[in-house]
Structures are given as structure tokens and as C-alpha cells.
Amino acid sequence: MDVERLHALHLAGSFFVTRAKRGMNARRLYSHTVDRTTGLICEQRIALEGYYSHQGYPEPLRRVRFRDPKSGKALVSLTNNMTLPALTICPPYKNQIWIAISTYVLIAIVKTRLQLEASLYTLLQILSVTLFEKMPINKAFLCTRYTTVSDRIDNQLNLP
């Protein structure tokens, strides 16, 4: 969790929702009452503790714990938005995971259909810098001088 980046978003007037790290060093400042029948476990204002965490994000955050009724897993979200209802805070993070997976699969399909040699990582990087440019997708991938890290050992399966 890059607390400095999150604080920069906060200072820019944006709000974020992210997953809390397990074992995160934080101090509870205040606990709100919650209706546990909705799946909410708790809603709290917290302060990050630990020298670097507190220096990177010195302001209070909101922690929302929610039990997913389908999986039974507890999800812990952090946000700087103190006004949205707690039940509105939890779903966006869960949706971010599905969006990331969907994007990865779609890029794998594009790579296969366009018979591109660049790695999925490289293609995702290209798309991240050309996201708001209006051009056919196959033209964004015309450059063939990509540099990739080939010395690392991948122990993950490749998608076709």
C-alpha cells in the first residue's frame, strides 16, 4: 500500500477505496455503530501508526469491515471518503478486482488475435499511456522495439 500516493490523491481532492493490508499498524480513533444484519462488521476512523506510514499519510482514514454474504470472507476497505454510506464503500474494491481480471483476459485475447509478440505486461503498459488517444488499437502496437526483462524466472502459467 503506497500511502504517499494515496495521500497525493487525497490532497488533489480525489477519493479512493483500497484494500487494507493484513496486520496494518493503525490506531482506532472512533467506532461508528453499524447494522450487522447488512453484512457490515465495523466502521471506524483510524490513524496509521508506524513512522513511515504516518509520515506518508498523516490524516485520519476510514476503515470499513464487511462480510461478503456469498463467500463469507471479511473484506477490509480503507478510504478517505468520510461521507458515503459504509455499504457504498465496500463493493467498489471487489469490483476493481473483477475489472483487473477482465482487462487482463481481454488484452490476452487481443494479443492472440493480432498475433503480437510483445508480452502482456508490455501491452498493458502501452495501453496505459495511450488510453486517451484516439487511434485504432492495432496501431498502438505497431512499434516492434519493445524491451522486456527476460532474465527473470516466471513460475506462472502463460495465457494463450
Q: Does residue 64 contact residue 77 with C-beta atoms inside 8 Å? A: yes
d(CA 3, CA 48): 9
Burial 73-108 (b: 16+ CB within 10 A, else e): eebbbbbbeeeeebeebbeebbeeeeeeeeeeeebe
d(CA 114, CA 127): 15
Q: For 12-27, what is each residue's pLDDT tens digit?
A: 999 998 888 888 899 9
Residue 84 identity (one-letter amino acid)? L
Which of 1-5, 122-126, 153-157 is predicted least confidently? 153-157
Q: Does residue 47 contact residue 26 with C-beta atoms inside 8 Å? A: yes
What percentage of the chain exceeds 90 in pLDDT?
Answer: 41
* Residue 12 confidence (pLDDT): 92
What dihedral do alpha carbons 151, 157, 159, 160 form, nearest 10°?
A: 80
d(CA 93, CA 19): 7
* Residue 157 confidence (pLDDT): 56
Q: What is the pTM of this model?
A: 0.62
d(CA 28, CA 44): 7
The grid coordinates listed for 53 are 506510514
- Inter-CA distances, 63 with 54, 80, 97, 105, 140, Å: 15, 9, 19, 31, 40
Torsion over CA: 12, 103, 100, 53 (sign): negative
* Residue 28 confidence (pLDDT): 96
* Residue 89 confidence (pLDDT): 87
The residue with cell 457504498 is: 88
Q: For 61-112, what is each residue's pLDDT tens digit?
A: 999 999 888 888 888 999 999 999 998 887 766 677 778 888 889 989 988 9
Q: Does residue 81 contact residue 62 with C-beta atoms inside 8 Å? A: yes
* Residue 151 confidence (pLDDT): 46
Q: What class does CATH assign to 3-83?
A: mainly beta
Which of 112-116, 118-122, 142-146 is predicted least confidently? 142-146
| 136, pLDDT greater than 80 | no
* Residue 35 confidence (pLDDT): 92
Q: For the chain, where do the domains classified as CATH 2.20.25 start and end? A: 3-83
* Residue 114 confidence (pLDDT): 86
